[in-house]
Amino acid sequence: MTERCDVCIVGAGISGLNALFVARQYLSRDQRVVLVDRRTRVGGMWLDTYDYIRLHQPHPFFTAGNIEWTLSKKREHLAAKDEVLDHLSHCLAVIKRHIRVTELFGYEFEKAEELDGKVRISCKAGEGYPIEIEADRLIKAYGQGVETNAPLKLSSACARSVSPDYFDVGGPEMRVSNAPVWIVGGGKTGMDTAHVLITEQPGREVNLVAGPGTLFMSRDRLFPRGARRWREGDLMSSIFIEMARRFDGFNEADVLGWFYDNYGISLTPKTGNFLLAILSEAEKETIAAGLNEVVMDYLTDVVDCDGGTEVVLRSGETRSFEPGSWVVNCTGSLIRGEHPYEPYASASGRVLSIQNRSVTIPFPPAGAAAYFLTHLLFLDKLAEVPLYAMDLEALRRKAPQYVMGAGLGPLQLHNLSLIAEAVPARQFAKIFYQSGFDLDRWFPIPRRLRASAGFMLTHKRDRKHHRRTLDTLAERFGIRCEPVVGTGQA
């Protein structure tokens, strides 16, 4: 069977919905979009992840385009999993009022090729039923490619190894056991898991193996409440601009130190990870008060020896382990594994690919790249504007983990500068206004207008510095970080 359409979008998570939101602005009612996803409904990674996950940011800033939430909660509310899934379904319903959308849920994307000015996409259903789609444009909205965590494979039969993605950490099986819990991973999943255990099962022994420690962004500093929004807190755009100006490709420790002093928060005395997660002072204090021990090391194994059981750490140190204790795998689920390289844009400009091997607009990770690049796709500028694309998979393998956090700002600002130059000023302003995930919107309009004016006055000058920084990162770590279109390289 062959489906014919104007646009095919692969992925029905937040990236795919942002691409769909933009597409509706350029398509007429008689044109058609085919939306493909291997899952059974809209939602992306939110369908697969642990039940107690919550948004990092206030809920209005996680959306498709500027579609408003129908949730009757305070602006600062951090939406839970079911609330997020309800909103994503609402976003699809709103978009479908304006354009024709055919949903192909339960279909796995297999391949695509460009022939005779068209893109031919092959997909297959779970039971093996194939389908071919012929489209004018293809958007592969894989986004961050978040993967579920399996339980850790441990040598000892005395360890109960689980993962939040496959086991209910707050459920009855965990509650009837008073055995200690070892949380492996100090990022947002680790914090969420520790918070649930400490608040719902007070008095239980909970230990954290935190690796190098994680630098979080302070929710209290980023999102002042009430009238304080007029005079306190710096806009996220201003923070990124200052951070990117300070970074030269080598001085990430100094830059992250500056960030920590002004906007950061951490549970651990040292920090080696920085992936833009957000934590509040109240969350930190609750978790810190409830933890039995924080181990600044990596877990290698749990082994039986000399009639006892031990936690073995990468440094060679060990810790005693009570038989029957739980080991919860909360290691990172972002930018994992190795995938084939693919540029974000095909040479013709008909195919857009949002994934970690060719990242252009990294923040917010929830759909920003799909939103901005889909505009370029429909403006026929995707294969013209020489955006820098960074291979985040390679950077994560080759660089110290906190380098990535420092390098995302220059990448973001360099590319937004080029987009601002390529799109007519009035249209660019409209595009920004309709990006509902812009965290600057937390603040009053006068403060946002001053920040926008500052960006427009300085972005061309700053772009030269950002380009030098990105070139330095590429040479220093031997990774792809360069324009892939607009220069004959596509």
pLDDT at position 483 is 94
Residue 272: its pLDDT value, please? 87
Query: What's the pLDDT at 117?
Result: 93
Relative to beta strand 107-115, strand 118-125 is antiparallel
Ordered structural domains, the chain, with CATH: 2-147+335-483 (3.50.50.60), 160-215+266-329 (3.50.50.60)
Contact, 481 vs 474, CB < 8 A? yes
pLDDT at 388: 97
Bridge partners, residue 167, by sequence: none
pLDDT (0 to 100) of residue 486: 60
Q: 351-383 pLDDT, tens per residue?
A: 999 999 999 999 887 689 999 999 999 999 999
Question: Which parts of the chain sit beneath pLDDT 70?
Answer: 333, 366, 486-490
Rounded Cα gap, residues 132 and 1, in angstroms: 6
For the whole model, what pTM was predicted? Answer: 0.94
Q: What is the pLDDT of residue 320?
A: 95
Kindly list the distances between the CA atom of residue 377 and the CA atoms of 31, 81, 329, 350, 431, in Å, as whole numbers in the listed order: 16, 31, 39, 7, 14
Write out the chain in H/E/C secondary structure: CEEEEEEEEECCCHHHHHHHHHHHHHCCCCCEEEEEECCCCCCHHHHCCCCCCECCCCHHHCCCCCCCCCCCCCCCCCCEHHHHHHHHHHHHHHHHCCCEEEEEECEEEEEEEEECCEEEEEEEECCCCEEEEEEEEEEEECCCCCCCCCCCCCCCCCCEEECCCCCCCCCHHHHCCCCCEEEECCCHHHHHHHHHHHHHCCCCCEEEECCCCECEEEHHHHCCCHHHHHCCCCCHHHHHHHHHHHCCCCCHHHHHHHHHHHHEECCCCCCCECCCCEECHHHHHHHHHHCCEEECCCEEEEEEECCEEEEEECCCCEEECCCCCEEEECCCCCCCCCCCCCCCECCCCCEEEECCCCECCCCCCCCHHHHHHHHHHHCCCCCCCCCEEECHHHHHHHCCHHHHHHHHHHHHHHHHHHHHHHCCHHHHHHHHHCCCCCHHHHCCHHHHHHHHHHHHHHHHHHHHHHHHHHHHHHHHHCCCEEECCCCCCC
d(CA 79, CA 70): 12
pLDDT of residue 487: 46
Q: Are 248 and 472 spatial neighbours (Cβ–Cβ below 8 Å)?
A: yes
pLDDT given at position 145: 73
